[in-house]
């Protein structure tokens, strides 16, 4: 599997579509300025989904940005926000096709 692809299809009994997302979890001190010792932490996360560049039309396969482009957006966000302590993960998320009415 191409590690730069952010969209892929696995075939078995039926085809399953996946997108690859980047999730960054981070903690920030609680904004209680009165607390000096052991300030509680707030756990947050932000998810970066690949941007769709083309829907692929009715029968085509959608085109998404590459993983390196998604990672660049995540890194740019990290530089702006500077969340302090963080952890990043890459997940493959199954995408179901929209059901169409009969």
Q: Determine the pLDDT at residue 36.
A: 52
Domain assignment of residue 2, yes or no? no
Query: Which structural domain, as residue segments, surrounds residue 72?
Result: 7-95
For the chain, the domain total comes to: 1
Taking residues 11-20, what's their average pLDDT? Answer: 74
4 contacts 66 by C-beta, under 8 angstroms: yes
Residue 61 lies in a domain: yes
Q: Which residues contact 73 (CB under 8 A, 6 or more apart)?
A: 48
Averaged pLDDT for residues 41-59: 84
Asked if the structure places residue 48 within a domain, the reply is yes
Considering the entire predicted model, what is its pTM?
Answer: 0.66
In a domain, 84, yes or no: yes
- Judged against a pLDDT cut of 60, whether residue 98 lies above it is answered with no
Neighbours of 74 (CB within 10 A): 17
- Would 59 be classed as within a structural domain? yes
């Amino acid at each position: 599997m191409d590690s730069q692809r952010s969209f892929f299809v696995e075939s078995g009994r039926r085809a399953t579509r996946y997108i690859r997302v980047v999730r960054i979890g981070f903690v920030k001190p609680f904004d209680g300025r009165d607390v000096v010792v052991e300030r509680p932490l707030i756990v947050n996360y932000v998810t970066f989904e690949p941007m769709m560049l083309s829907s692929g039309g009715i029968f085509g396969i959608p085109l998404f940005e590459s993983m390196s482009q998604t990672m660049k957006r995540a890194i740019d966000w990290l530089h702006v926000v500077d969340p302090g302590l963080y952890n990043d993960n890459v997940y493959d998320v199954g995408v179901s096709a929209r059901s169409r009415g009969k």
